[in-house]
Structures are given as C-alpha cells and as structure tokens.
Amino acid sequence: MVMIGRRKYKWWQFALFVIGVIAFTTVMGALFLPVGNQPARIYTDAEVPPVDSPHFATALSSLAGAPVEHGGDISILNNGDEFVPSLLQSLNQATTTIHFSVYIWSSGEISKQVLSVLEKKQREGVTVRILLDGLGSIKVPDEDFEALIAAGGKVQKFRAPRFGKLTRFHRRNHRRAIVIDGALGYTGGMAVSDVWLGHAQDTEHWRDLMFKVTGPLARSLQTAFVDRWVNSSGELLIDPRNYPYPVPAAAVAPGVDRFVHLANSPADDDQSMANFILMPILAARQSIYMATPYFIPDAHLKDALVERARDGVDVRLMLPGPNTDNAITRASAQHRYQELLEAGVKIYEYQPTFLHAKYAVFDRQWTIIGSPNLNTRSRTLDEENAIGILDPTLAADLHAVYFKDLKQSEQINLEQWRRRNPLKKLLETVARVLDQQS
C-alpha cells in the first residue's frame, strides 16, 4: 500500500500513475524538444568556393549525397493564374504517364479541374498515379478520386493514420513532384487547393511560385516521386517510359549549367537538407536573398546569416506579415529578428496576403527552389525535395520577382523593433519554446 497525503493507493494504481507521467513527459519531449543530434559547431576545412565554381557543386553534391547534373529548361510561374492553366495544358498533352505528388490536396475548383483531366487521360490510356500525403490531404474525401480509380488510375496515401503506425505519423511527405511523360515537371510551393487560385489578389489567396522544368531537370524530379511511391504502394517503377532522359555518359545536355537535386528522407542524424541550404550561404560573396513562409532557423543557419551580413554580404529575408496561417511560427521567427538586424540582415514582412513562396538566390548565380521551408520540419522530419541550380538567367528572373515583392513588404526597423511591446516579446519567447516541430 502506498500513501500519498491522506489517501491510500494500491501499488498498481501508483504504478499506472508513474507510467502515465513517464508517457506524458516522453510525448511532450518528442513534440517540443529539439530533434536530431547536430554537432555543436559547423566549420569547413578550407575556404568555401564561390557558387559558380565547379568545386562548389562537387562539394555540395558530396554533402547532399546527390549527383551534379546538367541541362534542362526552367521557367517561373507566378501564382495560380500562371500555374493552373500551364498545369492543365501539360496534363492534357500527356501521352504515357502522369505522376502527381503534392503535400496539400483539398476539394475545390482546382481539384475538380485537375481530376477531370486526369480521369480523361487515364481513359485514353495514360497511366495516372497520385500520391497523397496522409495528413496534408486529410480533408479531401476519398469519393473525389472514385471516378479516376474506376477508370484505372492509381491513388495512394503516404503514412495515413493507422493504429500501430502512429509513431511516424508526424513525419510527412512534403515534396512537390508533378511529372508528365518523364519529360516535363513542376515543383515549388503550390499544391491542389483554391488558396492558389488567382493572383494573390486578397487575403484568401496566397502569394506563391511554381517552377516548370523539362529534360534532365524533369527526369531528376521523377526520383522525388518514385521512391515515395514504392514506399506507399509497393510498385517499383522500372518501365523505361518513366525515364526518357537517361543520364548522359559524357555529353552535357543543353539548358541550365549545372544542378543538384536533393530528395531527402531524413533520419534523426541526417543533416543533408540543412547542409544543402547552409553551403551556398557560406559561399556567397555579394548577396543572399531568401523567401520562406516559415522561418525557424537552427543555430548554424542563423549564425551563418549573421556572419555573412557582418562580412558585408547583402543578406535579405522576406517573410510573411500579419497574414499568415501560423501565428506561433511567425512569433517564433520574430524572436530572432533583433540579433539578425543588429548584424545587418535586412528583414521584410510581405503585407498583402500570406507569402508561401520558398526560394533563395545567391550572388545572382545559384538558386534553390522546391518544397523545403527554413524550419525544423524541413530539415529533420519531412520528406522534401530541393533543387540547387547554377543558371544566371534564372537567378536574374528570380531576383526581379524578389524585388517586386519587396515593394509590397514592410522592412523591419531595428530601433523600432527594440521598442516593441514587452507583452509581444513575451509571446515571441513562448512561441520560440513551442516551435521545435514547426
């Protein structure tokens, strides 16, 4: 018999109480404590070469575990007004396969249009495969896909909630990989939801970018689909029709100078995505322009931005303003503003609507596009895919997009920021504690 205060408890009741406390503590620790096992310090064994150097691409390739590739064309699509018509046209022109993987899929106008085309193409003999994330697509009813499945299309869910598999449910497939005939693809920030309709014209429609890629870029993007597809469906995609652009033995394909495509499946100690973003920051000599909807940097990323700004590099961050889908994440990001501002980093908050674009431009030479955010989830928890590209034309185009959006953003002033409300500072500190899974 165990006595606590004046009450008497049987031994098994006390044992259950202790087990409950341990279980609660474990769950809270998993949710809110830092994940992974990063080294306390990141440093290099030599000076990081500039982003346009072949040595930079070689080192990045080795760190990411992804090859240096060449060729393929890429174009920028602003908001749904450009992305949706382009996507529907590409789907309608498919002749062999359509592979479609995005994080969010919600019922609405875009979903109806896309599914209508997919069902038609499947009935015409095109093989259609859709990979839905079990959480990101949880709101779309299974009935929406019945016609496509009846026509022979294949639909799978990545880590749908099931008893016995809940310990990995928090690790999601956040990749964007839409590939048509293995020869044309789309990646970026958008997905299937009506928040991407229009041109970010109001607070109900998000500001975002998508990228259309062809040739070797599309072939590489295919890998971001096929490895998660077999994990969810068991189907190994080996048909040569899926890969019309085999890796060249010697010749360099026309298009972008070089690129490295990282499709990562993070384990606790895997830092490939973190290094993929960190390397060009360390390599930048003139400018670093980054846009992200969720800014939760680890210490290494934050310190690198501070160091580069203090060295005279023009470092700019464009982040969401008051129109955001996650107030806690925004407050946590703001907790870091003062240190960054004091080092010379320029911070802008986009005002018209929620900024969901994810990209970066370094020295107007190297760009990063794809699905990752600058947060804990993208670095250490979620399946992501990002492409680092050396192409001055793309960098110049993204540079123009970036500065156009800066005109609709509010720059944070250091002196005014220091004088912000003490209650706001407290909320930022609390948000910082809660952001480890953001």
Flag whether pLDDT at 96 surpasses 70: yes
Flag whether pLDDT at 23 surpasses 80: no
Owner of token pair 């006390």: 14
Gyration radius of the chain's alpha carbons: 23
H or E stretch at 328: helix 327-334
For 192-242, write each residue's pLDDT tens digit: 999 999 999 999 999 999 999 999 999 999 999 999 999 999 999 999 989
Owner of token pair 């948000």: 431
Owner of token pair 């806690």: 328
Which one-letter DSSP state was computed for residue 364?
A: T
Q: What percent of the chain has pLDDT over 90?
A: 76
Count Cβ neighbours within 10 Å for each residue of 174-211 and write b for 16 or more, e otherwise: bbbbbbbbbbbbbbbbbbbbbbbbeebeeeebbbbbbb
The mean of the pLDDT values for the chain is: 91
90: CB partners within 8 A, 6+ apart: 180, 184, 186, 212
Flag whether pLDDT at 36 surpasses 90: no
Q: 100 forms bridges with which residues in the sheet?
A: 130, 178
For 298-336, write each residue's pLDDT tens digit: 999 999 999 999 999 999 999 999 999 999 999 999 999
Q: Which domains does the chain have, with CATH numbers?
A: 48-67+257-437 (3.30.870.10), 71-242 (3.30.870.10)
| CB-CB neighbours of 414 under 10 Å | 14
Alpha carbons 205 and 197: distance in angstroms, whole number: 6
Flag whether pLDDT at 416 surpasses 60: yes
Alpha carbons 240 and 97: distance in angstroms, whole number: 11
Owner of token pair 């982003």: 51
Alpha carbons 289 and 315: distance in angstroms, whole number: 6
Alpha carbons 174 and 190: distance in angstroms, whole number: 11
Flag whether pLDDT at 436 surpasses 70: no
Q: What is the pTM of this model?
A: 0.90
Distances in whole angstroms, Cα of residue 216 to Cα of each of 113, 124, 235, 241, 247: 28, 27, 23, 14, 8
For 325-375, write each residue's pLDDT tens digit: 999 999 999 999 999 999 999 999 999 999 999 999 999 999 999 999 999
Range in 5-19, 331-345, 411-425 with the lowest mean pLDDT: 5-19
Q: What percent of the chain has pLDDT over 70?
A: 89
For 159-173, write each residue's pLDDT tens digit: 876 665 555 657 789
Which pair of tokens denotes residue 294? 């969720």
Distances in whole angstroms, Cα of residue 204 to Cα of each of 68, 199, 233, 275, 407: 39, 11, 35, 34, 20
Range in 86-95, 186-195, 223-232, 243-252 with the lowest mean pLDDT: 243-252
**Is pLDDT larger for residue 180 or for residue 134?**
180
Q: What is the mean pLDDT of residues 377-397?
A: 95
Q: How confident is the model at residue 153 (pLDDT cuts 50, 70, 90)?
A: very high
Phi first, then psi, for residue 342 (nearest 5°) are -65, -25
Flag whether pLDDT at 254 surpasses 50: yes
CA triple 94-231-225, angle to 5 deg: 30
Q: List the one residue out of 186, 359, 381, 394 whose CA is nearest residue 280.
A: 359
8 A C-beta contact, residue 174 and residue 133: yes
Write the Ramachandran bin of 71: left for phi over 0, alpha for psi from -120 to 50, otherwise beta: left
